[in-house]
Amino acid sequence: MAIAAEPPTRVVRRLMTSEEFLAWLQPGVFADLIGGEIIMHSPVNLQHARLLNFLDRLLGAYIEHEDLGELHREAVAVRLSVRETFLPDLAFFTKPQVARLTPTHAPFAPAFVLEALSPGTAHHDTGRKFAAYEAHGVQEYWIVDPENLDHHFYRREGDLLAEFAVGAEQIDSTSIHGFWVKRAWLSPTKLPAVSDCLAEILATRKAGRRGRGS
C-alpha cells in the first residue's frame, strides 16, 4: 500500500519591528532593517572608504561653517516605519530636525541622504531603500558609485524623488543651502583636497552674498 508523503514543513520567517531592531542594534554593528529583515552592511573597500571620507569631511565642514544642522555618518539609526530602520552612509538633519532627535535614533527621515554603493548591497540602495526614502519624506538622495563613477542625484518633486543634474559638471544641492560639488571631485582615485574644495564653495557663497547686497 502506498503511503502518502508528508508535505514539507514550511519555515515561516518572523519579521522584526523597528523597535525590536533598535533594541538589538549595538554600537559598531552596521545593518539596516528592510521590510522587517536585518540586512548587514557589506565590508567596504578602499575606493568606497576614500570617497565617503572625502564627502563626509567636505559636507561636515560646510554644514558647520554655515551653521545649518548636523551631519551623521552610519551611526544614527533612522526609523522610517514599523519595519524599516536604516543607517545611512551620510544623513543631514536641519537645525529644526536636530531638536527633534531622540537619544537613540532619528524617528523621522533626514532632509538629505547619501549612500555609497557596495557590490553586495547596491540593489537595496537603488531599490527598496530608495522607495522607502521616497515614501517617507527624504528631500534629496545622492547615490555615489565609487567603482564605476556612475553617480545619480535625486530631489523631491511632489511625492517622488526625481533625478537631476544628469551629466552636469556641477551638482547643486537643493536641501543643503549653497552647497555644491563638481562631478570631477567624485573619483576616489584622484580626490582633491577637502580644504581647497571648501574654499571654492565658500568663495561662491561670498560672491553671491555680495551680489545680493549690491
With vertex at residue 136, the alpha carbon angle to CA 55 and CA 124, rounded to the nearest 5 degrees, is 60
Q: What is the SS3 assignment for 125?
A: helix
pTM of the model: 0.90
Delimit the domains of the chain by residue range. 28-208
With 50 as the cut, is the pLDDT of residue 118 above it? yes
With 70 as the cut, is the pLDDT of residue 179 above it? yes
Q: What is the mean pLDDT of the chain?
A: 92
CATH architecture observed for domain 28-208: Alpha-Beta Complex (3.90)
Each residue's pLDDT tens digit, 153-172: 999 999 999 999 999 999 99
Q: Please tell me the distance from the alpha carbon of residue 80 to that of residue 107, in angstroms, as a whole number.
A: 7
Give the CA dihedral 98, 132, 60, 151, nearest 10 degrees: -160
Q: How many helices (H) and strands (E) would you count in the chain? A: 6, 12
- Hey, CA dihedral for 150, 59, 180, 99, is it positive or negative? positive
